[in-house]
Each structure stands twice: as structure tokens, then as C-alpha cells.
Structure 1
Amino acid sequence: RAEDGTIMAIQHTEYPVHGVQFHPESIASEHGHAVLKNFLDIMESA
């Protein structure tokens, strides 16, 4: 959850299914590429 309580990601309890709230335009932010890379790395190893 975000600091304001907003749910930013989900994970299924039984299946390898994940979801994140991600806006492609945020790649232009300071850590946007790192966030996307980390997520893709996690999904690749799952």
C-alpha cells in the first residue's frame, strides 16, 4: 500500500498472478525504469 493507503499491487493467494498499478509515463520519473525492471525480474524468476 501507498502511504495514503492506496492499494498499489496485488498477489493471488493460490496462483502465480501479480498485478501492480503502474503508469508508463512514470518511467520518466527518477526511479521509473528501476521499478519496471525489478517487477519484470521478479516475474521472470516466478
Structure 2
Amino acid sequence: MGHNDIDYEHKFDKTNKTLSYTFDNEIQNKMIINALIWLGTGKKVK
């Protein structure tokens, strides 16, 4: 969660390579969606 990690200091190459991706983790995304559904309905999501 948070912001993408980008190689602005060029530690790996001479480009601004993206090192991580926000919301690119399936488990994290499911947790966030389940939390929002739970907050909105009070029902447990499988």
C-alpha cells in the first residue's frame, strides 16, 4: 500500500524504473475489498 517505489536515483539503470506497484498484490486487494464490504454491510465475505 502507499505509493509506487520508483528508481529516481538510478541505482539499477539509467531510467526511472518502477520497482513496486500499488494495488498489484492480490491478497492485499482482497483484504481491502473485504474490509470495505464489511464496513458497508456488516456481513462476512468469504
TM bracket, shorter-chain basis: 0.3 to 0.5
Structure with more relative contact order (C-alpha pairs < 8 Å, separation 6 or more): 2
* Higher-helix-fraction structure: 1
**Structure ID, larger Rg:** 2
Task: Tell me which protein shows more strand as a share of its residues.
Answer: 1
